[in-house]
């Protein structure tokens, strides 16, 4: 396996006194983790550090990302019960596992993963109130951008009311020149996706890009802690295939596609039924007209043998219904 090339930066930002984000770098295992802690000083950073530690240990022991993240939830709950940190402290997480050129990303909360290959694609879907309202069509993307509850998440590791967390995952293949970006919401609450893309588009090494993004988040206000990890595709990765080849899709997006194609199928069935009815009606009218034409009496030749017009004078239509 080729050496992993990556960059990582975490920063307290301009407004906060403590950095409650944590991150884990295990390049030899292809494992990278970003966790954003909440609950305040001596709580948030305890929760996020525990998340990274638990996930790293579990994955290195052979567990799946999903199992490892569920364990992190239990570990934070247990720490709260034992008065390590604060009861009710929590953390979001986004974790990446690379096996050769294939990747798996798993997450809980609003820490995100993106794919960069000259354009930016978001791979994760936030577990947040705003995302849920967007999904239900209750908000436009414009309203979502400045929503007052923009930081409310619908699940977190360590949340007391959750017996377990629902971990979402996305898998795909990494092609030559592509990069994966993991980040806490300190980045995405300051920069829109197109701004992130513009900064990444300035190029450079993964570490330069990560530093540039965190600096930009700080320049835009730096209201939160920001953590960014950027991982390059391995040097042995294949050239990117054309359209129509395998591309990643997460569980929610997959359900959307299935729902849309079901809708399209039922719409097509209605259109087909209407067309058939029109066709049958046209057939009936055509048949009726043909019957009228065939039933007309043959014209009698006039004396003197003058040519007879082949078009018979049309008789009043009521004649045929008597
Ligand atoms: Ca945060």
Helix segments in 119-192, DSSP class H: 129-135, 141-145, 185-188
The pLDDT of residue 280 is 81
User: 78 CA to middle of ligand 1, Å?
Assistant: 22
Pairwise CA distance, residues 9 & 19, whole Å: 12
User: 207 CA to middle of ligand 1, Å?
Assistant: 21
Q: Report if pTM > 0.85.
A: no
Pairwise CA distance, residues 255 & 113, whole Å: 20
The pLDDT of residue 88 is 86
- CA geometry: angle at 91 spanning 31 and 57, to 5°? 35
Per-residue pLDDT of the chain (322 residues; tens, 9 = 90+): 568 999 999 999 999 999 999 999 999 999 999 999 999 888 999 999 999 999 999 999 999 999 999 999 999 999 999 988 788 899 999 999 999 899 999 999 999 999 999 999 999 999 999 999 999 999 999 899 889 998 899 999 999 999 999 999 999 999 999 999 999 999 999 999 999 999 999 999 999 999 999 999 999 999 999 999 999 999 889 998 875 555 666 667 667 766 776 777 777 777 777 777 777 888 888 778 888 877 776 655 544 444 444 444 444 444 334 3
The sheet carrying 90-99 orders its strands as 21-26, 31-38, 90-99, 102-108, 168-173
Token pair of 3 as six digits:
């050496």
User: 36 CA to middle of ligand 1, Å?
Assistant: 5
Residue 225 CB contacts under 8 Å (≥ 6 apart), including other chains:
10, 11, 12, 13, 16, 18, 19, 20, 21, 36, 184, 186
User: 9 CA to middle of ligand 1, Å?
Assistant: 14
The pLDDT of residue 318 is 41
List, as ranges, residues with CB under 5 A of the ion ligand 1: 36, 185, 224
The pLDDT of residue 248 is 64
Token pair of 219 as six digits:
């320049």
Asked if residue 155 lies in contact with residue 165, where contact means CB atoms within 8 angstroms, the answer is yes
User: 63 CA to middle of ligand 1, Å?
Assistant: 27
User: 260 CA to middle of ligand 1, Å?
Assistant: 34
């Amino acid at each position: 396996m080729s050496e992993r090339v990556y960059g990582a930066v975490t920063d307290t930002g301009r407004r906060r006194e403590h950095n409650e984000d944590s991150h884990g770098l295990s390049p030899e295992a292809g494992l990278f983790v970003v966790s954003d802690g909440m609950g305040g000083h001596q709580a948030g950073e305890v929760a996020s550090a525990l998340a990274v530690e638990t996930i790293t240990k579990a994955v290195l022991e052979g567990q799946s990302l999903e199992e490892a993240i569920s364990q992190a939830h239990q570990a934070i709950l247990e720490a709260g019960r034992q008065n390590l940190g604060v009861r009710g402290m929590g953390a979001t997480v986004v974790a990446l596992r690379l096996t050769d050129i294939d990747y798996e990303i798993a997450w809980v909360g609003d820490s995100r993963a993106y794919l960069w290959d000259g354009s930016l694609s978001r791979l994760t879907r936030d577990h947040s109130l705003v995302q849920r309202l967007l999904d239900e069509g209750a908000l436009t993307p414009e309203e979502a951008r400045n929503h007052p509850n923009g930081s409310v998440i619908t699940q977190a590791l360590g949340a007391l009311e959750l017996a377990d967390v629902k971990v979402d995952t996305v898998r795909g293949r990494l092609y030559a020149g592509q990069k994966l970006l993991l980040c806490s919401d300190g980045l995405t609450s300051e920069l829109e996706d197109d701004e992130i893309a513009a900064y990444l588009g300035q190029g450079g090494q993964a570490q330069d890009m990560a530093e540039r993004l965190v600096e930009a988040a700080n320049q835009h206000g730096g209201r939160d802690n920001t953590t960014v990890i950027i991982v390059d595709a391995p040097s042995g990765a294949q050239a990117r295939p054309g359209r129509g080849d395998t591309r990643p899709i997460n569980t929610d997006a997959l359900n959307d596609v299935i729902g849309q194609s079901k809708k399209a199928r039922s719409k097509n069935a209605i259109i087909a039924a209407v067309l058939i009815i029109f066709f049958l009606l046209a057939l009936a009218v055509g048949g009726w007209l043909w019957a009228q034409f065939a039933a007309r009496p043959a014209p009698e030749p006039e004396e003197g043998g003058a040519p007879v017009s082949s078009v018979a004078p049309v008789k009043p239509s009521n004649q045929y219904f008597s």
